[in-house]
A and B are shown apart, each in its own frame.
Chain A
Amino acid sequence: MLAFALKRLALALLVALTVSIVSFSLLRLSGDLAQALAGPSATAADVEAVRKAYGLDQPLWVQYLAWARQALHGDLGTSFFFKEPVAAMIAARLPVTMTLGVSALLFALLVALPLGILAALKPNSWVDRLALTLSVVGQALPSFWFALMLMILFGLKLRWLPISGTASWKSFVMPAIALGYYGMPTFMRLTRAGMMEVLASDYIRTARAKGLRAPAILLKHALRNAIVPVVAVAAVQLGFFLGGSIVIESVFALHGVGYLGWESISRADFPVVQAIVLVLALFYIVLTLLADLLNAFLDPRIRVG
């Protein structure tokens, strides 16, 4: 187990490094950072002075190492627009995005798990077909359109939920639905497939033969086995939610990391964009690592591979 964990950790670190290099290069190669830093009313001499002062005349790999060294100490640079340290800005907005991501995951699981179980219990029944239809329809809806429709229905016409901001837990209901519904079909399919496989297995048939009652079998044994792939996928899906919350955050005016990322792109505030790409990638990497380790822990067969 330990060897497996260490190998996976080393891989995760390598991926993180690569992502940081890619995002660094992508943004540095885009324009003249010295000009942007020196400000618009700077003369050519000012720009050169800034270039030397910030080490922007060095080759790209030297600049990267400097940035990486700073980043390891928690200094992710300073925003061009706000003139504040980026790390603090991201830390201030992270709770909103995390709350949104986790709520979206909970919503997706709350709908997908029962549906998947029911569909597995009664394959090819109307429940099964309903679940299948829901998932096909759900994946075809553009998320922003769905979000706007939700806003009109629940926010404006019915007045059940607040439209924007983060005033209370209610503010996260519509955003969670709008973000989470896209991941629901995957969970449902997984649960259904996993449940059906386990229900048909020898293990369960033996338990049934021993006389254990159906609900007991279902809950204790089948579910525990079927849940393994779902948990792993859930961790990865959370990573996707965190990285893909931009549209939802902008529609519902939630001041999270995604919203900051989009605003920074439209303001050409590159230190912020770079840092956000890195932070979101790190979250994804950590979550995938956890999922892998969890999977290996629960299902020993994986550790060997």
Chain B
Amino acid sequence: MRGKLAWAAVALGLIAPAAQAGKPDDTLNLAWSAQIENYDQYFNTVREGIVFAREIWDNLVDRDPRTGEYKPLLAKSYRWVDPLTLDFALRQGISFHDGTPFTATDVAYTLNWLADPANKVITQQNVSWIKSVEETGPFAVRIHLKAPFPAALEYLADILPIYPHDYYAKVGPQGMSRHPVGTGPYKVAAAEPGKSFTLLRNDAYFKESPKGRPAIGRIVQRSIAEMPTQIAELMTGSIDWIWQVPADQAEKLRQVPGVTVKSAETMRIGYVGFDAAGRSGATPVKDRRVREAIAHAIDRAAMVKNLVGGDSRVLDAACFPSQFGCTDEGVKRYAYDPALAKTLLAEAGYPNGFDIDIYAYRERPWAEAIIGYLRAVGIRAKLTYLQYAALRDKNWAGTTPLFYMTWGSNSINDVSAILGNFFTGSPDDFARDAQLKSWIETGDTAIDPAVRKANYRQALQRIAEEIYWLPMFSYVANYAFSADLDFSPDADEVPRFYAAHWK
């Protein structure tokens, strides 16, 4: 059946005129290169999945990107009864896109379903803190936590959208991916995994929402693999908005009439990861001196100035500065010193360098710049460039000795979202350091902020001392869009189209 529809679509496309782009049509045409493999928020791992989710679904609370405070969204109010119990009073009179009313059952069902490991939600860290959720009234829920988890609100605000319970029970993740249904400012008109989606304004969206009322009538997204193609489309006006534009292209695009370019620092950090635990076998990076050599071999400041640009900064601690618990106090710094790097390599038994595989999934030119620096000290790194999902799988299987990756912490402004993911024994952990794990877990579950900070500080110092990671720099996101559009990027790297409007 789908095959026939596809033929019809092509046939119609061949005779019908091309759709108008932009303001005249009240249609915002977006393009990005990522492919969302599954529109169900709990089964995709790309940033663009979160962007999509914010338009279609609502969370219990919404964190204001500018002030950082939690605004009531689906919930009217919340209260910590004790460190293990969180109560929510929900709004009334909200409906899902399919007309069914929103009640406490939806919240309880969604969160309980996610917390069940048998349902295999992809990022378990996001949901593993929930023990159970009970309905305490038609519009009230109580969340029970397994252990104290102060970052709970952050997670609820960011990446835990609420699904309609009977619909989800009936169709499951596959059905939700094909026809997403939520309470959000936009509803889905069409969604093709990996290719495109079309959203229509939800005119019945509840007025009291802190997200505001959506202005643009229609949003159409296309996945276009090549950046030059995206830029060309933007310049001819068929596309109205693109992002992740490389720094030098962004500079040049600023001068193109009809195009606005905005840059914002994001919470995403780039880092070089090492298989310090030797999961991939006996690799040179198991030796701390080799890792230190690599740390001294890369001129991070030059990369920031010439490649990343904008407000990016060099980072020494394995976290983003604004995250709670992030500090570079007492964290060891490694200056750019290729001569020292060569000495260290010789000491470690590699006077003529060595060969190694390096993996990356984005910003290929930056990975190549790193390879260039390594080559200058004798390390011949061979690049394997994969899509994120494939590289993640290799990581989890422990077969990657050296990799350049990034982590946006899902825009969660708490160090637990980064350290908890990478250094507590999960498949992402290449350090396998029991002491480090214990500091982080203490920090994750302590109630007293001072205790949390102290433990995180020790963890960050340890990571730097052992060079389990070489943090590189913070990312700057460059957005380029039509001059007709009034759009403001936020630091959490989640473009909010429901807040954009035509000029």
Q: Which residues of A contact B (CB under 8 A)?
A: 35-36, 39-41, 81-84, 88, 91-96, 99, 148, 151-152, 155-156, 159, 162-171, 250-253, 255, 259, 263, 266-268
Contacts and interface: CB of A to CB of B under 8 A. Distances in A.
B194 A82 contact: yes
A183 B418 CA distance: 53
B363 to A, nearest CB: 16
Interface of B: 2-3, 6-7, 9-10, 13-19, 35, 37-38, 120, 124, 174, 193-195, 222-226, 228-229, 232-233, 235-236, 238, 386-387, 389-390, 392-393, 395-397, 427
Contacts of A148: 228
Contact of B13 (A36, A163, A167): A167
Contact of B10 (A95, A152, A159): A95
B9 to A, nearest CB: 8
Contacts of A251: 226, 229
A99 B393 contact: no
B13 A94 contact: no
A165 B222 contact: yes
B40 to A, nearest CB: 10
A162 B238 contact: yes
Nearest to A151: B232
Contacts of B9: 95
A41 B122 CA distance: 9
A166 B224 CA distance: 12
Given A91-B6, A95-B6, A263-B35, 15 more contacts: A81-B389, A88-B2, A151-B228, A159-B236, A163-B229, A164-B232, A166-B13, A168-B13, A168-B16, A171-B13, A253-B222, A255-B223, A259-B225, A263-B194, A266-B390
A82 B173 CA distance: 12
B235 to A, nearest CB: 6
A250 B393 contact: no
A99 B225 contact: no
Given A251-B229, A253-B229, A96 B37 contact: no
Contact of B6 (A82, A92, A253): A92
A280 B2 CA distance: 19
A39 to B, nearest CB: 7
B427 A40 contact: yes
29 contacts: A39-B120, A41-B396, A81-B37, A84-B193, A88-B3, A91-B2, A92-B2, A94-B3, A95-B6, A99-B10, A99-B14, A148-B228, A152-B232, A162-B238, A163-B232, A163-B238, A164-B224, A166-B10, A168-B14, A169-B14, A169-B15, A170-B18, A250-B225, A250-B226, A263-B194, A267-B387, A267-B389, A267-B390, A268-B386
Contacts of A252: 229
A40 B396 contact: yes
Given A81-B37, A253-B224, A40 B397 contact: yes
A69 B19 CA distance: 44
A156 B235 contact: yes
B384 to A, nearest CB: 10
A96 to B, nearest CB: 7
Contacts of B193: 82, 84
B39 to A, nearest CB: 11
Nearest to A87: B3
Contacts of B14: 99, 168-169
Contacts of B3: 88, 91-92, 94-95
Given A92-B3, A162-B18, A163-B238, A266 B222 contact: no
A274 B229 CA distance: 29
A255 B9 CA distance: 13
A266 B225 CA distance: 12
Contact of A83 (B7, B18, B174, B232): B174
A163 to B, nearest CB: 5
A169 B232 CA distance: 19
Contacts of A163: 229, 232-233, 236, 238
B1 to A, nearest CB: 9
A251 B228 CA distance: 9
Given A35-B397, A165-B222, A82 B37 contact: yes
Interface pairs A-B: 4 shortest CB-CB: A40-B396, A91-B3, A167-B18, A169-B14
B226 A266 contact: no
Nearest to B120: A39
Contact of A266 (B16, B18, B386, B393): B386
B236 A155 contact: yes
Nearest to A32: B397
A148 B18 CA distance: 22
Of A41, A155, A156, A163, chain B has the most CB atoms within 10 Å of the CB of A163
A223 B427 CA distance: 68
